[in-house]
Amino acid sequence: MSRSLPPFLIPSAVSSADTVESAPRNKRGVFGAAAFSFAIVGTMLGNAAKAVTYALLDPQDAADWGWRVCYVAGFGLGIIGIQLRKGLEESPEFEKAKKELVGDNVAPENPLKEAFTKYHKEVLVVMTSVSMCALPPRLAFLCRVSWLCQESHRKLLCAAGAAGSTPS
C-alpha cells in the first residue's frame, strides 16, 4: 500500500507557482515546466537510491527491511524541505496581489480547508490529472526495475541449478 501512494502525493509537492511568479515574464512557461520536471527527476533519484540500497544488502535483508530505508530517508528529506520552505520570502508579485485583496475578496483564514470543503471536486480533478502525469514514469521506472530484478534473480537461480530448470 505505501509503495503505491507517492504518485498521488506528488500534486501536493509540485508547485511551480513560486517559480513562475519570480521568473522573467518571457520565461515563465519554461520555469514552470522545469519545476514539474524535477518531480520526475526526484523519482529517478529515488530509484537510484533503491538500486544502491539493494546492491549493498543481501536479497533477503532487502526484501525484509531494506526497502524501508529509502522511505525513511525520503521522510527526512521532506522535513528538511519543509524547514527550507518556511524560511523563504514571498515573491513581490504575491505580496502585491495580497495587498490588492479588499472587501469580499480577502484571502480566507484557512485556504486549505476552504479548498477541500468548497472546491473538493476541483481539487479532486487537479490531483487526479497531476497523478496521471506522474503515474506513467513511476510505473516505467519502478515496475520495470522490480521486474528486471526478479527476472535476473530467477535466471541466476536457474543457472545455479537451484530452480531445477535452465534459464530461458
> Residue 58 and residue 65: Cα distance in Å, rounded?
11
pLDDT value at residue 84: 85
Is 19 a member of any domain? yes
Tell me whether residue 127 is in a domain.
Answer: yes
Question: pLDDT value at position 102?
Answer: 67
In this prediction, residue 162 carries a pLDDT of 45
CB contact at 8 A, 37 and 16: no
Instruction: Give me the pLDDT at residue 99, please.
Output: 78
The stretches in the chain having pLDDT less than 50 are 1-2, 7-8, 11-12, 160-168
Give dist(CA 83, CA 44) in Å, integer.
23
b/e for 49-60, b at 16 or more Cβ within 10 A?
ebeebbeebeee
Q: Which three cell numbers stand for residue 10?
A: 506528488
What is the widest separation between alpha-carbon atoms in the chain?
78
> Sign of the CA dihedral 48, 44, 86, 126?
negative
Kindly state whether residue 128 falls inside one of the protein's structural domains. Answer: yes
Q: Which domain holds residue 134?
A: 6-160
Residue 166: inside a domain? no
Domains contained in the chain, number: 1
What local confidence, expressed as pLDDT, does residue 121 receive?
A: 92
CA dihedral 39, 44, 49, 53 (to 10 degrees): 140
